[in-house]
Structure 1
Amino acid sequence: MRFDEPVLLYGAGREARSTRAFLKARQPDLKIYVTVDSGEAGIEEAEFLAPAELKAAIAARRFGLIVKSPGVSRYKPIFDAARAAAIPVTSNLNLWGLAYRAGRRVIAITGTKGKSTTATLTHLMLEKSGIDAGLAGNVGLAPLDIADRHETVVFELSSYQTADMSFLPDIAGLTNLYPEHVDWHGSVARYFADKLHLISREGDFRVGLGAGAATNALVLAAVSDHRRLLPPLPRTEDDALTVAVTASRLKGAHNLDNARLAAQLALAAGATREGIAEGIAAFQPLPHRLEEHRFGETLFVDDSISTTPEATKAALAAYHGRRIALIAGGHEREQDYGELVRLIEGHGVTTLVCLPVTGFRLAQAAHAAAPGVEVVPAHDLTEGMQGLAGRRGRFDTVILSPGAPSYNQFKNFEERGDRFVALARELFATSQ
């Protein structure tokens, strides 16, 4: 693979740095440009191009390829201008496909929720079965960083990556499908199509479906040949898996579903029953996903990675029987919270802290649908946690599961989760 013209990196995050290292190793003297819509453009040995300069740069063909970071929407008009000028737009993942796909088994996993857990479990099950496997994508390494190190690569992919994925996997997994990321994709229909692009293309690859995908009409229509679908686990293996999950760090019925799908995918790639059980036992919860902390007499659950109502519902179901204070709300994506609000009382929620911006809609809906739940509006997480500190007799568990992205008040969900834990320690670590 050789690049005859300069390359523009659109974005300057983890994948952009990975792409820069790949290009430098291949062609040390290749001219590299970088542009960002916001933030720092700190890419080594790259010339910065302001977004306002891109249209003129495209017209002048100052570069012959654009490598787009996942967080940059492929539907930005500037990419239409690039394609019209015969300048291709690609990604770190697709460059991996060109450079390293041949001779390797690829397991690609996506879904609205549960894809990170499912991909991590699949990788562990393969490793414990003695299979040379690596983990890349949104978890593990950036695709180009994993390069050709392993015979089998498990990719955890977002809709941003599946939207224009140019190569086929050997095995594909889809956990579930709910509306999300409409701001990036432009519509719910386009989000669904971009997510389903992983499984809707013609090819000789197998497809495993999680419980939330197997009954979805859109998903089933996307798999044109149902003979490609992996069969459910046999009863004896499913029983053994349930026992293993019950004894593991995996919490909630949704994680049992994730483990089932991971086992299907791993078995299709040659995993053993023993390897599946050992992989489940070795699983460590991902940061900010049902991550437990105890301060004083109260259990705090950091589920800051929750950005959809479905993820919040799964978090509540995982703590059945507890008296719960739920902290929810965040960046507005026009998601439907009606079903979530209707079930909170039945899931043990006594107190609901509502954070901007979606928290305003949650508060209104809760007043009507859950009159037994005390609603605590808050301008920010600090005010919300201070409100809970004065109501600690109403709950034994506090769950931060916002059901919305974080970036109206935080840089990312990690910062939001860290702040939650710090406030819990500060306000609840000593009895009052």
Structure 2
Amino acid sequence: MHFDAPVLLYGAGREARSTRDFIRTHSPGTKVYVTVDSGDVGIEDVEIIAPSDLQDAIAARRFGTIVKSPGVSRYRPIFAIAREAGIAVTSNLNLWGEEYRSKVKVVAISGTKGKSTTATLTWLMLTNSGVDAGLGGNVGVAPLDVADKYKTVVFELSSYQTADMAFTPDIAAITNLSPEHTDWHRDVEHYYADKLNLIDRDKDFPVALGVGAKDNKLVLEALRNPARLVPALDRESDQAIVDAVSISRLKGAHNLDNARLAAQIALAAGGTLEGVLKGIAEFKPLPHRLEEHIVGGMLFVNDSISTTPEATKAALAAFPSMRIALIAGGHERNQDYTELATLLAPRGVTVLVCLPVTGDRLATATYAAAPQIEVLEAENLETAMQALSHRRNRFDAVILSPGAPSYNQFKNFEERGNTFIALAEKLFGEKVA
């Protein structure tokens, strides 16, 4: 691939660095600009264009292509201005599609929750079946870094990536669908449409649907033809998967659902039942996803990846028969916490600590739905953990499952989760495991 004009990278994260390396290798004479909204660029051999100068740069045709990072909303007016000026707006994923799609079998997995676990399981199942498979996308390796190193690639894709995905996969899957990222997508309708762009295509490739997607009206409309669905698991295979999950590190009913979906995908992509079961056995919980730590003899569960009420419900269901202190709340995305509040007491929550800003609504709903729960409102995670350190006789486990993004107080969910564990070690004693 050769670029005939300079390229602008909008964003400077992992995918932007990957794109810069790709251009350096495949089109070494191409000049590269970078625009970032905040922070350091940290990319070598580029020229910076400030956001305030971008419209003038477009008018002057200083570049012919914009490669947008996933976290930068495609709905920003500047991209419409660029397109009107004849400047292409693309992504690391779509550049991968142009360069490598014809050489590789693509399994693409998305959904509101569970996509990272499902994609990782699918990859493990395929590799244990003898399939030459790689894993990339939102799970940590930029598509262009995956390149064509494998005959099959499993992509875990966020709604940011599926929104303008220009190529079709060989097999696709949707785990579930519920409101999220409405600030990036403008509203929930655009979020649904952008997520379902993965399967809402004219080409008739097979699709697997998780429990939270198979009865969703919008998903079924995007599917168009039920004949596209991959075969269901037979009874014998399903029982073998249930048995394998029961002795694995996959915790909670939602992860059994993820394993079943991954098995359907893997079998449709050339995997074997033996490989599926070996993949389940090899699975290790992903960081910040129901990640368990014992500190001072108490269980701390880092579920910082939880950014929706549905994810928090799943986290609580994974720890039955325990008295739970739940820490929840975060960046506002106008999510409804009413149902979650009604489930807290039945799921064993004895203490609820609410963080700004969504925690205010969860607290109000919990006061009404479960007055027996002690509700605390903390200004940040440190004060939340300090409050719990004085109430440790009231619970058996502390679960950080915010049900909201982290951006109002943290750089990302990883920083939030790491801070949680650091505070646990500081306030509750030496970490045991």
TM-score (norm 2): 0.98
* Cα drift, residue 71 of structure 1: 0.2
For residue 195 of structure 1, what is the aligned residue in structure 2? Answer: 195
Alignment of 1:316-355 (within 5 A): 316-355=316-355
Instruction: For 1:27-106, list aligned pairs within 5 A.
Output: 27-106=27-106
- Displacement of 1:271 after TM fit? 0.5
Q: How does 1:15-414 map to 2 (within 5 A)?
A: 15-414=15-414
Deviations 1:189-225 (A, max 9, x none): 0000000000111113100000000011110111111
In 1, Cα distance between the equivalents of 2:103 and 2:377? 55
Distance (whole Å) between structure 1 residues aligned to residue 198 and residue 411 of structure 2: 29
* Mapped contact 2:180–2:188 kept (Cα < 8 A): yes
**Contact 2:103 2:148 survives alignment (8 Å):** no
Question: How far apart in 2 are the matches of 1:341 and 1:76?
Answer: 35
Q: Aligned to 1:139, what secondary structure does the other structure show?
A: coil
Q: Distance in 1 between matches of 2:66 and 2:151?
A: 29
Shift in Å, 1:295: 1.4
CA contact (8 A) 2:345 2:370 kept: yes
1:343, distance to aligned residue in structure 2 (A): 0.7
Q: Tell me by how many angstroms 1:296 deviates.
A: 2.0
Query: Shift of the alpha carbon at 1:430?
Result: 6.0
- Alpha-carbon distance, 1:230 to partner: 1.0
Q: TM-score, structure 1 length as denominator?
A: 0.99
Amino acid paired to 2:417? G
Q: Deviations for 1:131-159, whole angstroms, at most 9, x for unmatched residues?
A: 00000001141000010100000000000
Between the aligned partners of 2:323 and 2:42, the Cα distance in structure 1 is 47
Alpha-carbon separation, structure 2, partners of 1:80 and 1:66: 12
What CA deviation, in whole Å up to 9, does each residue of 1:373-398 have, x standing for no partner?
A: 00011111111111111111110011
| Equivalent position amino acid for 2:89 in 1 | V
> What is the alpha-carbon distance in structure 2 between the residues aligned to residue 227 and residue 58 of structure 1?
46
Structure 1: how far apart are the matches of 2:295 and 2:58?
56
Code of the residue aligned with 1:256 in structure 2: it is: L
The answer on whether the counterparts of 1:109 and 1:157 sit within 8 Å (CA) in structure 2 is yes
Q: What's the CA shift string for 1:44-76, capped at 9, x where partnerless?
A: 111000011111111110000000000000000
| 3-state secondary structure, aligned to 1:18 | helix
Question: Equivalents in 1 of 2:223, 2:78: separation in Å?
Answer: 32
Letter of the structure 1 residue corresponding to residue 346 of structure 2: G
TM-fit CA distance, 1:42: 2.0
- 2:421 aligns to what? 421
Q: Check the 8 A contact 1:290/1:302 in 2, yes or no.
A: yes
How many angstroms apart in 1 are the aligned matches of 2:175 and 2:422?
32
Give secondary structure in 1 for the equivalent of 2:197: helix
Q: State the identity as a percent.
A: 68
Distance 1:35 1:430, change over 3 A: closer
Deviations 1:84-142 (A, max 9, x none): 00101000000000000102110000000000000000000000001000000011410
- Which range moves more in the overlay, 303-312 or 357-366? 357-366
CA positional deviation for 1:2: 1.6
* Structure 1 unaligned blocks of 5 or more: none
One-letter amino acid of the counterpart of residue 136, structure 1: G
